[in-house]
């Protein structure tokens, strides 16, 4: 029996590092203490306030039911996630490249998901590859990869040019930024070459994915495919430790900070978390702070002392 | 790279001044100010001040920080700064903003999309150091290089090229006070990075670790507020005397004795004004008293120290001071047994006690807080007083205080009121949650240090000046008296100074006032006009 190749080991390792890297980031942020409210309007989940207002506009707001709209939030989020709508409005010059770049990545990820679905259906559920649904999945994967690669290449070259020539970005661009863009460009380019020159029907790719998900040795795919898979694996190992994870950070920064307007009600979970945070012992050194005391103490001690004066 | 373009790492290089400001490069103002900048010069610091004080950023002095001569003390200063920076990134010392700060430091894509949203950057003629990203990037690089111990070559490769030295820290102190914390930049960030927050945290580091803050905000501000009773320096007795004086003045104006209810236990509402109103714009608390009397509002005013001043300067620079003042306000409300606290026309007081302190005021101190705008709307829209809109027959525009609108979401009540009672009301552009700061936000309005006012009038307040003029372009003739409604003490302070500096009353006939003044001016029962215009 053939052994699992080094390439496969690299693939599995990359997925494990990616998973652990993202998990450690999630743990880092989700275990941070509650922060003070710092919302920014407009908040799309505020119901019936298209002008961007909040429940603070209502008389005796705390006596009224809290009305949120998921549809309002989705109406904002979907165009933002798919088309980077805010950037379209605020920085069109960047959007021209940033949108195809990101959309190309979405399609690329989508292509992989379709390949995986096809493989699971044929390898684990044993559906015939002649079935219409399988054909559809396979054809869609080709389209997703094809358009994804082209958009990704166009976007990353555009962003590289913009980084190199824009006066606005001068001084704020580092070798690392170029490295990241070139890295993604190479992944996209190797994928496109492999697709066009060696594997038009994604047959080798399907075989490869099948081997991966069934933990079976894989017949050597074409050299460009190998380059593509190596680059992708290295990227997955690198990715969790970069600011490119901003797609996940965006959720925290928008949903959990900019749009976080949940009031602190008596007996609520927020109250308990605030209570815990007020118990932290701070050691700020400025003279007006009682160094080494709990937040709850320094926030009230000063006041009491002042009262005695 | 453009010649002489200031780079992020240049902040560390000692020089007489990092940037020169030239009024000819500033954003142009509309009619009748086309030639204004060619005629006015910015006030310069003297050579003596330059030798003694930190003014090597842009030649302006917000803090008046004394230079440190001894090398040893300079090193200590830098070391202490780094200690403070470490503390900003620990949960024990900075649970209040650790998560948003860490995310904003780690996730900026440096796309510069936020720059054009910043009124300071745009008004200055796009000076590099005023980009919202500039100071954030300085701090980010220091964190990455010095707290994560990156060697020099690695720092350069990863875009963290910076030198942390005495010059860097001294300039950062001033640079922390070149942003009004309006957070307009955050609205445009595709990722959600908050450069306003990074500025806020930098101010906190200086205050909470090194004891450095503008004297008007700290020593004469929040400290005086807690010790004497008000950041204005007004002691309890003086406050009570002032109210008596205002009662006499009100009687003269409306022909009726109206008392300020003081320390009335069991009232429904504790009304807290920015104490600056009593001294600078007494017509504002008077108008509240007249309106509440007519509408039968059950309220009280506190004469307890801290309780008669709704400001909370800690919001701009110090979490501990913020918490102390907010807790004191809540304790007073609890002692009075009120059902809610209503905040008067003060934007930062609104946000401090309603939004930010929401996660400080726990359990028995969690007394509901409400904007006076909601209460006004109830009175006006439900016809609880008789109003005649034709009494407000002047052209009116509305200034949106950032803290009340973008940062708290109180947007429409004030508009619904003006649409009903001011027939010539028109919006300035942009408005609502996308408004521009008055230029006096985050404490600037009360900071008169050396030549800082010139910076405020020419740079941070310039966009508001432009907006106000544009709102009235069709009636810019000074003989047509026009009014800016600014429902915030801080914004009124800035507008007062801005309009005076540009001689706007003389050149364009524009004055300013709060919102409640318009309501009282429209009251049928008040015979004489309540709104007053400047004397010519």
Q: How far apart are CA A37 and CA A257, in angstroms?
A: 7
Q: Which of B95, B361, B412 sits opposite A51 (nearest CB)?
A: B412
In degrees rounded to 5, what are phi and psi of residue B64?
70, 40
Q: Given phi > 0 = left and psi -120 to 50 = alpha, else beta, which region is B315?
A: alpha
Kindly report the number of other CB atoms within 10 A of residue B280's CB atom: 15
Could you tell me what percent of chain A has a pLDDT over 90? 79
Window A:100-159, CB contacts with B under 8 Å: none
Structure tokens at A47: 């119901």
Instruction: Give mean pLDDT, residues A277-286.
Output: 97
Contact yes or no for A94 and B113 at CB 8 A: yes
Give the pLDDT of residue A125. 83
Contact yes or no for A286 and B209 at CB 8 A: yes
Give the pLDDT of residue B506. 96
| A54-67 pLDDT, tens digit each | 999 999 999 999 99
Contact between B224 and B231 (Cβ < 8 Å): yes
Contact yes or no for B156 and A94 at CB 8 A: no
How big is chain B by its Cα radius of gyration, in Å?
A: 24
Give the pLDDT of residue A305. 43
Among A77, A101, A263, A288, pick the best mutation site for testing chain B contact (most B Cβ within 10 A).
Answer: A288
| A129-177 pLDDT, tens digit each | 788 999 999 999 999 999 999 999 999 999 999 999 998 898 999 999 9
Contact yes or no for B377 and A60 at CB 8 A: no
| A223-247 pLDDT, tens digit each | 999 999 999 999 999 999 999 999 8
Q: How far apart are CA A146 and CA A114, in angstroms?
A: 13
Q: How far apart are CA A285 and CA A299, in angstroms?
A: 15
For helices B283-295 and B236-254, the axis angle rounded to 10 degrees is 70
Kindly report the number of other CB atoms within 10 A of residue B80's CB atom: 16
Partners of A300 on chain B (C-beta within 8 Å) are: 324, 327
Q: How far apart are CA A292 and CA A282, in angstroms?
A: 6
Strand order in the sheet with B269-272: B299-300, B269-272, B340-343, B369-371
Q: How far apart are CA A29 and CA A34, in angstroms?
A: 10
Contact yes or no for A284 and B137 at CB 8 A: no
Contact yes or no for B368 and A60 at CB 8 A: yes
Q: How many residues does chain B have?
A: 536
Among A40, A62, A84, pick the best mutation site for testing chain B contact (most B Cβ within 10 A).
Answer: A40
Instruction: Give mean pLDDT, residues A28-35.
Output: 96
Q: How far apart are CA A105 and CA A84, in angstroms?
A: 13
- How close A180 comes to chain B (CA, Å)? 11
Q: How far apart are CA A38 and CA B352, in angstroms?
A: 11
Contact between A21 and A241 (Cβ < 8 Å): yes
User: A99-113, A207-221, B432-446: which range is least confident on average?
Assistant: A207-221
CB-neighbour burial class of residue B89 (10 A; exposed 0-12, middle 13-18, buried 19+): middle
| Residue A1: band (very low, low, confident or very high) from pLDDT cuts 50, 70, 90 | very low
Q: Which of A38, A277, A287 sits opposite B197 (nearest CB)?
A: A38
For residue B474, give Cα distances in angstroms to A219, A235, A274, B20, B160. 78, 59, 52, 36, 51
**CB contact, 8 Å: A182 with chain B?**
no
Residues of chain B below pLDDT 50: none
CB proximity list for A187: less than 8 A, separation 6 or greater: A152, A228, A231, A232, A235
- How close A151 comes to chain B (CA, Å)? 20
| Residue A304: band (very low, low, confident or very high) from pLDDT cuts 50, 70, 90 | very low
CB-neighbour burial class of residue B373 (10 A; exposed 0-12, middle 13-18, buried 19+): buried
Give the pLDDT of residue A2. 61
Report chain A's mean pLDDT, rounded to a whole number. 92
Q: What end-to-end distance do the CA atoms of chain B give, in Å?
A: 52
Among A32, A33, A41, A239, pick the best mutation site for testing chain B contact (most B Cβ within 10 A).
Answer: A41
- Please tell me the number of Cα atoms within 13 Å of A241 on its side-chain side: 10
Partners of B211 on chain A (C-beta within 8 Å) are: 285-288
Give the pLDDT of residue B46. 96
Cis peptide before A212 (omega within 30 of 0): no
Q: What is the DSSP code (8-state) at residue B29?
A: P
Q: Is A142 helix (H, G, I), strand (E, B) or coil?
A: helix
Q: What is the DSSP code (8-state) at residue A46?
A: B
Q: What is the pTM of this model?
A: 0.95
CB-neighbour burial class of residue B11 (10 A; exposed 0-12, middle 13-18, buried 19+): buried
Structure tokens at A283: 């050691």
Considering only alpha carbons, which residue of chain B is nearest residue A303?
A: B324
Structure tokens at A102: 């990101």
Give the pLDDT of residue A309. 37
Contact yes or no for A57 and B7 at CB 8 A: no
State the ipTM, two decimals. 0.95
**CB contact, 8 Å: A249 with chain B?**
yes
Give the pLDDT of residue A221. 72
Cis peptide before B470 (omega within 30 of 0): no
Q: Is the pLDDT of residue A306 over 50?
A: no
């Amino acid at each position: 029996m053939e052994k699992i190749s080094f390439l496969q080991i690299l693939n599995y390792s990359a997925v494990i590092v990616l998973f652990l890297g993202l998990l450690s980031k999630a743990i880092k942020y989700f275990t941070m203490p509650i922060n003070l409210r710092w919302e920014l309007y407009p908040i799309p989940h505020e119901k019936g306030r298209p002008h961007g207002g909040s429940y603070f506009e209502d008389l005796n707001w705390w006596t009224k039911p809290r009305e949120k709209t998921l549809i309002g939030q989705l109406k904002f989020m979907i165009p933002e996630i798919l088309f980077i709508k805010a950037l379209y409005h605020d920085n069109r010059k960047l959007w021209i490249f940033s949108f195809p770049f990101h959309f190309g990545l979405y399609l690329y990820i989508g292509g992989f998901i379709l390949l995986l679905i096809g493989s699971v259906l044929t390898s684990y559920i044993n559906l015939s590859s002649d079935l219409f649904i399988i054909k559809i999945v396979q054809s869609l994967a080709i389209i997703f990869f094809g358009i994804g690669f082209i958009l990704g290449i166009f976007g990353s070259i555009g962003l590289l040019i913009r980084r190199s020539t824009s006066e606005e970005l001068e001084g704020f661009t580092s070798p690392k930024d170029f490295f990241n863009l070139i890295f993604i460009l190479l992944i996209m380019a190797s994928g496109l070459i492999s697709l066009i020159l060696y594997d038009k029907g994604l047959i080798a790719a399907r075989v490869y994915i099948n081997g991966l998900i069934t933990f079976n040795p894989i017949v050597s795919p074409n050299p460009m495919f190998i380059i593509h898979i190596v680059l992708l694996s290295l990227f997955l190992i690198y990715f969790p430790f970069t600011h490119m994870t901003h797609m996940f950070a965006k959720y925290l920064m928008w949903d959990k900070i900019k749009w976080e307007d949940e009031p602190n009600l008596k007996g609520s979970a927020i109250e308990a978390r605030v209570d815990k945070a007020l118990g932290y012992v701070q050691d700020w050194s400025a003279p007006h702070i009682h160094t080494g005391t709990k937040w709850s103490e320094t926030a009230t001690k000063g006041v009491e002392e002042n009262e005695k004066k | 790279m453009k010649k002489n373009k200031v780079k992020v790492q240049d902040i560390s290089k000692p020089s007489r001044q990092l940037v020169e400001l030239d009024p000819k490069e500033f954003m142009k103002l509309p009619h009748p100010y086309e030639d204004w900048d060619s005629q006015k010069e910015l006030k310069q610091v003297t050579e003596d001040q330059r030798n003694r004080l930190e003014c090597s950023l842009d030649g302006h002095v917000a803090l008046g920080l004394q230079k440190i001569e001894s090398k040893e003390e300079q090193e200590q200063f830098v070391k202490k700064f780094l200690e403070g920076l470490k503390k900003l990134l620990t949960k024990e010392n900075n649970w209040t903003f650790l998560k948003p700060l860490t995310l904003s430091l780690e996730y900026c894509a440096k796309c510069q999309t936020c720059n054009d949203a910043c009124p300071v950057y745009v008004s200055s003629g796009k000076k590099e150091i005023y980009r919202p990203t500039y100071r954030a990037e300085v701090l980010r690089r220091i964190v990455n290089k010095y707290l994560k111990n990156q060697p020099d070559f690695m720092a350069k490769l990863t875009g963290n090229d910076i030198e942390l030295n005495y010059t860097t820290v001294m300039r950062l102190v001033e640079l922390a006070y070149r942003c009004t914390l309006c957070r307009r930049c955050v609205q445009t960030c595709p990722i959600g990075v908050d450069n306003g927050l990074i500025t806020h945290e930098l101010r906190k580091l200086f205050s909470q670790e090194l004891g450095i803050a503008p004297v008007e905000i700290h020593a004469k501000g929040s400290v005086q507020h807690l010790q004497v009773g008000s950041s204005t320096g007004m002691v309890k007795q003086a406050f009570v005397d002032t109210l008596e004086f205002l009662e006499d003045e009100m009687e003269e104006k409306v022909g009726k004795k109206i008392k300020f209810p003081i320390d009335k236990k069991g009232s429904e509402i504790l009304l807290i004004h920015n104490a600056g109103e009593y001294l600078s714009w007494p017509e504002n608390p008077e108008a509240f008293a007249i309106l509440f009397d007519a509408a039968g509002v059950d309220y009280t005013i506190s004469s307890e120290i801290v309780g008669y001043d709704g400001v909370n300067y800690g919001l701009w620079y110090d979490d501990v001071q913020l918490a102390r003042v907010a807790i004191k306000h809540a304790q007073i409300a609890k002692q009075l047994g009120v059902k809610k606290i209503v905040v008067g026309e003060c934007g930062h007081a609104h946000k401090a006690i309603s939004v930010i302190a929401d996660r400080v005021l726990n359990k028995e101190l969690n007394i509901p807080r409400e904007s006076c705008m909601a209460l006004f709307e109830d009175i006006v829209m439900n016809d609880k007083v008789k109003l005649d809109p034709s009494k407000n027959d002047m052209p009116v525009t509305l200034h949106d205080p950032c803290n009340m609108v973008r940062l708290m979401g109180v947007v429409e009540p004030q508009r619904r009121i003006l649409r009903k009672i001011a027939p010539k009301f028109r919006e300035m552009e942009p408005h609502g949650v996308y408004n521009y700061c008055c230029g006096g936000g985050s404490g600037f309005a009360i900071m008169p240090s050396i030549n800082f006012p010139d910076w405020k009038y020419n740079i941070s307040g310039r966009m508001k000046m432009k907006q106000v003029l544009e709102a009235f372009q069709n009636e810019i003739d000074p003989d047509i008296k026009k009014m800016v409604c600014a429902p915030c003490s801080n914004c009124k302070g800035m507008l007062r100074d801005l309009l005076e500096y540009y001689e706007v009353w003389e050149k364009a006939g524009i004055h300013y006032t709060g919102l409640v003044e318009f309501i009282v001016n429209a009251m049928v029962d008040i015979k004489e006009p309540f709104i007053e215009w400047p004397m010519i």
